[in-house]
Structure 1
């Protein structure tokens, strides 16, 4: 099996910085509306989550700021790499999360992109931004837990 074939099944990309800057409350799997060249770029792993978020407009959820690089073999039929992409969710899910974002000050962040039954799915999370001291506490707790695990393993 080639390396490319293994990559195309399942995991595409993960937003690693999201856990550093946000504390997640809820997760949700959503479909994403894509063009053909975007899917081919995703199979090649050409995606960046930098500054991407979910915005609610007119009862719809839109993924803003997700950069999918242009597919090099597309010819004249290229896609816009930074366009807003519609998320495919039920109306009641969109309404519930839109209320939480407006009233409670949460943000909706894409956490991961992956293939599921030949369809591209995005894992989105409802989260609250961490303060600098919260980030430091998280790092400190992780270091302490790692040291304790090492000491227990050496016994």
Structure 2
């Protein structure tokens, strides 16, 4: 994870359940008009979104940024495809990784850093059903142990 993450506005908790996150990258988001105001107000949903490398550009698909209430007729489309700003070397690396079977680009967090909206993109390898069940068992056991320790005190 990059150091100095700003204020987290949206987090994809389901990503760690569905994917093994192997690498993370920080990227800027190209926004229009009132989108930054909606993001700063926390009116963003990252749950069903994903990223894709298309013609040498990384694009964020299905990210929902609600329309700004005080906006006018020039308000934005809530689920439009947004371009991500990354270094060329990082994009080239992502092209190689995503061409492998079972890998996906998953947005993990949206946050404000130095006044700019940033997204944390993770390279995820899909989990099988038994992996997900195993994770749930581990989480439940940890909860039970913590509860037993707390009751002892």
Task: Verify same fold: TM over 0.5.
Answer: yes
In 2, distance between residues paired with 1:151 and 1:76?
A: 57
Q: Is the 8 A contact 2:57 2:91 kept in 1?
A: yes
Look up the match of 1:80.
77
Query: Segments of 4+ in structure 1 off by > 6 A?
Result: none
Choose from 88, 100, 105 the match for 1:103.
Answer: 100
| TM-score, with length taken from structure 1 | 0.88
Alignment of 1:89 with 2:86, yes or no, is yes
For residue 39 of structure 1, give the secondary structure of its aligned residue in structure 2. helix
CA drift of 1:151 comes to 3.1
Look up the match of 2:124.
127
RMSD: 1.5
| TM-score, with length taken from structure 2 | 0.89
Choose from 95, 110, 114 the match for 2:111.
Answer: 114
Q: Is the 8 A contact 1:35 1:79 kept in 2?
A: yes
CA deviations over 1:57-85 (Å, ceiling 9, x no partner)? 11110001101111111112111111111
Unpaired runs of 5+ residues, structure 2, are 1-5
CA drift of 1:98 comes to 1.2
CA deviations over 1:65-110 (Å, ceiling 9, x no partner)? 1011111111121111111111000011011011111024310000
For residue 78 of structure 2, give the secondary structure of its aligned residue in structure 1. coil
CA drift of 1:55 comes to 0.8
